[in-house]
Amino acid sequence: MYKNRSQGFTLIELLVVIAIIGILSAVVLASLNTARTRGNDAAIQSNLAAIRTQAEIYYGSTGGNTYGVAQTTAGSCAAQANTIWADSTIARSITATEVTNGAGTVVCNSSPQAYAVSSDLLSGIGGNMFWCVDSTGNAKSLAAALGAGVTACP
């Protein structure tokens, strides 16, 4: 009776296995997207921390203990002569932040005695969508980007 039966899987068995593989791959892909977004947020935070470190080096190396002349365009991260934004290491960190957050907002404000930088986060931390660092040592999440001319993380 069983001699005529061929070896192999039935169509139903194959469909069940394919369905299980599809469900598992959907779960894994959803987890990878979340991990990638959190990784980008960590890169943004790291870049802003590098700005904070380099700004303190700049502050000490000016001889007059200053972050440079008053910024002429509030909120702009463009390299303005005699400001911390003209420092090549800070400029590279700003560029890396802009690339990582993808067309997000990076706000840079400075005066001779203070500075602050904020950037969009991709996933947000605790529901907030911006990360801010300033000259007082603050590094925290914010619900909104820095306003023009603000030199401290609120």
Asked, for residue 137, whether it belongs to a domain, the answer is yes
Asked, for residue 83, whether it belongs to a domain, the answer is yes
Asked, for residue 147, whether it belongs to a domain, the answer is no
Going by their DSSP bridges, the two strands 128-134 and 106-111 should be labelled as unpaired
Locus of tokens 């390299």: 79
CA distance 84 to 86: 5
**What is the domain count for the chain?**
1
| Token pair in block for residue 45 | 């935070």
Q: Coil, strand, or helix at residue 149? A: coil
Residue 6 DSSP code = P
What does the pLDDT read at residue 127? 59
Selected residue with higher pLDDT from 2 and 25: 25
Selected residue with higher pLDDT from 63 and 24: 24
| Token pair in block for residue 66 | 């200053």
What does the pLDDT read at residue 45? 94
Q: Classify each residue of 51-68 as buried b or exposed e, where b means 16 or more C-beta atoms within 10 Å of its C-beta.
A: bbebbeebbeeeeeebbb
pLDDT in tens, 69-121: 888 887 888 888 888 999 999 999 999 999 998 877 889 999 999 999 999 88
In this model, does residue 6 exceed pLDDT 70?
Answer: no
| Domain with 71 in it | 11-142
Asked, for residue 148, whether it belongs to a domain, the answer is no
Locus of tokens 């904070």: 52
What does the pLDDT read at residue 154? 87
Asked, for residue 5, whether it belongs to a domain, the answer is no
| Token pair in block for residue 17 | 């296995």
pLDDT in tens, 20-62: 999 999 988 888 888 888 899 999 999 999 999 999 999 988 7
pLDDT in tens, 110-152: 999 999 999 988 876 555 689 999 999 999 988 888 888 899 9
Asked, for residue 16, whether it belongs to a domain, the answer is yes
Asked, for residue 28, whether it belongs to a domain, the answer is yes
What does the pLDDT read at residue 17? 94
Asked, for residue 134, whether it belongs to a domain, the answer is yes
CA distance 149 to 107: 10
